[in-house]
Chain A
């Protein structure tokens, strides 16, 4: 019974940010899948995504403004680059983990918004495109006699 998947039973159906900010952030989240060819339908993640933003704001109310800033930056990038704006967001940065506070609005959005969405997107299930069936942050399921093991075992390497 612990293996049963129950999705979105008590999650917020309305965003804690304004509709236009919610929509802009969702587009970033969707673009992550498109850019890295993750191959999964993001729509089932939408309520968890919304809840994630709500939780980030709960933990740190500044995040409400972070998401507003992110929309502004994305509007500007889209104005400049059109459809390639998201590629700019995901790739215009040093190819190392950021070690210092962001210096520009774009770096700010990359660190505090896009990078967090990337981590969330993988944990919600997109990691599977890279070959595993479980991942840190994913609710793989319990270890129950007679039921499939919720992660790959040596038999899958034979």
Chain B
């Protein structure tokens, strides 16, 4: 019998474990992870990534959907295909192994979407409740940001100063200034240098962030390794290769534990637990609740109202492309993460239509020197290429709203990790094209202000990187799956902590908010006062 059983080994498991163990070093915690381990901070692996561009965790991704000549896995059954490949990782450390580290806070109005716009759901907590935990999450994830930026209210400073804008940001900054659009430094989880000691190295701006050779970008497995190796926590147990099949229940209100498959032996293992935290990401968390059926919960835990897996959304990530007539400044990618963001349209005024943010990607001017040399271009040809008419991109994300019809479900066959495959049923709203046309009109103005030419409609990726809302928080069971404390409605000891519990997603990356929720949950579980940690 363990006190706390956590399913998944990403940022939620790590943050909660760390906080519980700091409070009580004898705390009994078991973390179950379906995936295996990928070596981090290894120089040979890093060089392999540098040369090939292929990170070592590719094998931990979903396979692509089945195609004519490729068996693939999972199924996309809606009108709008939602790629899963590349969106998440089944690995020790979870998707933090590959995340970009963009660490935005939601805005206060995001917590009131339904009241303001009659879309999605209202959060049963408000921004002020989460604000202290946002601060703690920024410290925990080692975020570099501009503390003077009041785009979102804040009561504390970032742990590290912002990364200054790059020269590549200059054209877009100029356009924002001409158009009087608000802009600022993109808060990014890259460790900086401050008076606070840490065994984690600061970012060396090496530009290979998807596999940092120093560990300057937060990866949960590095922190879990620290917890295990630098402390004496005798009752912490982490089991990899453990695919959780279902949560077992002793009564309608209480779970008794879980059943998982030990992939190394193929054996089915039962573990009893006092508290179960489902932290397997938006998709797997919902699927686990759905398949945890019993006489008490015939449709799965928390699913008496058929809401588990429903309201699935993600962020459409848009890429506008055009050209600048000449590249006299020899702009080229010098970084691997963006430093400039505009939240001008992430506002109350845009909430009903779908808020969006604009980001200057690190390769906004995608000068590819190595590729040109490898293709045999001469020096004169490369110089001409690097200073001439060249592509210029503007990226962004737009909020879409949850719909009951859009859902995640289990399929009765296994993926290559050993978990049940996923059915994704998603159809974008009819009005989405109109919204993108409105966004294009704004971006058109930006290109004109840059003296650049916008050539195409946006390329929109619906990849499920920011999948969310499948187990929404709500004040009562008719509106969602978990309550404001992340406890499944109707159950005493099953909690969900993943992007699944978001009632809506806003227009920004969810991981900082998720981390704040995890830290808040840890305080709740340990009995700590909100500001004690």
Cβ contacts under 8 Å, A156 to chain B: 167
Q: Are B48 and A59 in contact (CB under 8 A)?
A: yes
Cβ contacts under 8 Å, B165 to chain A: 153-154
Q: Are A91 and B376 in contact (CB under 8 A)?
A: yes
Q: Are A122 and B45 in contact (CB under 8 A)?
A: no
Q: Which of B47, B170, B334, B379 lies in contact with A56, CB distance below 8 A?
A: B47
Q: Are A142 and B192 in contact (CB under 8 A)?
A: yes
Interface footprint category on B: 35 or more
Name, among B202, B329, B369, the residue most crowded by chain A CB atoms within 10 Å (CB to CB): B369
User: Is A97 an interface residue, CB under 8 A from the partner?
Assistant: yes
Minimum CB–CB distance for A110 against chain B, Å: 8
Q: Are B193 and A151 in contact (CB under 8 A)?
A: no
One of B205-213, B317-325, B388-396 at the interface = B205-213
Q: Are B44 and A55 in contact (CB under 8 A)?
A: yes
Question: How long is the Cα–Cα vector from A138 to B46 in the complex, in angstroms?
Answer: 12
Cβ contacts under 8 Å, A31 to chain B: none
> What total of chain A residues lie within 8 Å of the partner, measured CB to CB?
51
Tell me the dominant secondary structure on chain A's binding face.
loop
Cβ contacts under 8 Å, A149 to chain B: 164
Q: Are A130 and B44 in contact (CB under 8 A)?
A: no
Encoded as 1 (CB less than 8 Å from any A CB) or 0, chain B from 317 to 344 comes to 0000000000001101111100000000
Cβ contacts under 8 Å, B144 to chain A: 143
Q: Are A143 and B205 in contact (CB under 8 A)?
A: yes
Within 8 A of B (CB), among A108-158: 114-116, 118-120, 122-123, 127, 130-145, 149-154, 156-157
Question: How long is the Cα–Cα vector from A37 to B377 in the complex, in angstroms?
Answer: 13
Q: Are A143 and B193 in contact (CB under 8 A)?
A: yes
Question: How long is the Cα–Cα vector from A32 to B378 in the complex, in angstroms?
Answer: 11
Minimum CB–CB distance for A3 against chain B, Å: 9
User: Is B173 an interface residue, CB under 8 A from the partner?
Assistant: yes
Minimum CB–CB distance for A109 against chain B, Å: 13
Minimum CB–CB distance for A133 against chain B, Å: 7
Q: Are B169 and A154 in contact (CB under 8 A)?
A: yes
Q: Which of A36, A114, A127, A138 lies in contact with B379, CB distance below 8 A?
A: A36
Minimum CB–CB distance for B335 against chain A, Å: 6
User: Is A26 an interface residue, CB under 8 A from the partner?
Assistant: no
User: Is B386 an interface residue, CB under 8 A from the partner?
Assistant: yes
Q: Are B167 and A153 in contact (CB under 8 A)?
A: yes
Cβ contacts under 8 Å, A8 to chain B: none
Name, among A132, A139, A140, the residue most crowded by chain B CB atoms within 10 Å (CB to CB): A132
User: Is B204 an interface residue, CB under 8 A from the partner?
Assistant: yes
Minimum CB–CB distance for B147 against chain A, Å: 13
Question: How long is the Cα–Cα vector from A97 to B202 in the complex, in angstroms?
Answer: 34
Q: Which of A92, A123, A145 lies in contact with B161, CB distance below 8 A?
A: A145
Q: Are B207 and A138 in contact (CB under 8 A)?
A: yes
Cβ contacts under 8 Å, A152 to chain B: 166-167, 334
Number of residue pairs A-B, CB distance < 8 angstroms: 147
User: Is B134 an interface residue, CB under 8 A from the partner?
Assistant: no
The answer to whether residues A95 and B208 also contact, given A123-B50, A143-B164, A145-B161 and a CB cut-off of 8 A, is no
Name, among B163, B193, B208, the residue most crowded by chain A CB atoms within 10 Å (CB to CB): B193
Cβ contacts under 8 Å, B336 to chain A: 136
Name, among A59, A123, A140, A154, the residue most crowded by chain B CB atoms within 10 Å (CB to CB): A154
Encoded as 1 (CB less than 8 Å from any A CB) or 0, chain B from 372 to 390 comes to 0111111100110010000
Minimum CB–CB distance for A33 against chain B, Å: 11
Cβ contacts under 8 Å, A37 to chain B: 379
Q: Which of A56, A95, A134, A145 lies in contact with B375, CB distance below 8 A?
A: A95
Question: How long is the Cα–Cα vector from A136 to B333 in the complex, in angstroms?
Answer: 7
Cβ contacts under 8 Å, A32 to chain B: 373
Chain B: CB-nearest residue to A133: B334
Q: Are B334 and A134 in contact (CB under 8 A)?
A: yes
User: Is A90 an interface residue, CB under 8 A from the partner?
Assistant: yes
Q: Are A96 and B193 in contact (CB under 8 A)?
A: no
Question: How long is the Cα–Cα vector from A88 to B491 in the complex, in angstroms?
Answer: 71
The answer to whether residues A119 and B376 also contact, given A55-B44, A137-B206 and a CB cut-off of 8 A, is no
Cβ contacts under 8 Å, B38 to chain A: none
Q: Are B205 and A59 in contact (CB under 8 A)?
A: no
Q: Are A96 and B48 in contact (CB under 8 A)?
A: no
User: Is B370 an interface residue, CB under 8 A from the partner?
Assistant: yes
Question: How long is the Cα–Cα vector from A93 to B202 in the complex, in angstroms?
Answer: 41
The answer to whether residues A95 and B371 also contact, given A130-B332, A150-B205 and a CB cut-off of 8 A, is no
Encoded as 1 (CB less than 8 Å from any B CB) or 0, chain A from 44 to 71 comes to 0000000010011011000000000000
Cβ contacts under 8 Å, A139 to chain B: 204-206
Cβ contacts under 8 Å, A136 to chain B: 50, 206-208, 333, 336
Q: A36-B379, A141-B204, A141-B205 are in contact. List 16 more A-B contacts (CB 8 A).
A: A2-B204, A52-B47, A97-B375, A119-B374, A120-B47, A127-B369, A135-B333, A136-B333, A139-B206, A140-B334, A142-B193, A143-B161, A144-B192, A152-B334, A154-B165, A154-B166
8 nearest interchain CB pairs? A136-B207, A131-B330, A152-B167, A140-B205, A134-B334, A55-B44, A151-B334, A91-B376
Q: List 30 A-B contacts (CB under 8 A).
A: A36-B378, A37-B379, A55-B44, A56-B51, A59-B47, A97-B371, A114-B374, A116-B51, A130-B383, A131-B386, A132-B330, A134-B205, A135-B207, A135-B333, A136-B208, A137-B207, A139-B205, A139-B206, A140-B205, A141-B205, A142-B192, A143-B164, A143-B205, A144-B192, A144-B193, A150-B204, A150-B205, A151-B205, A154-B170, A157-B329
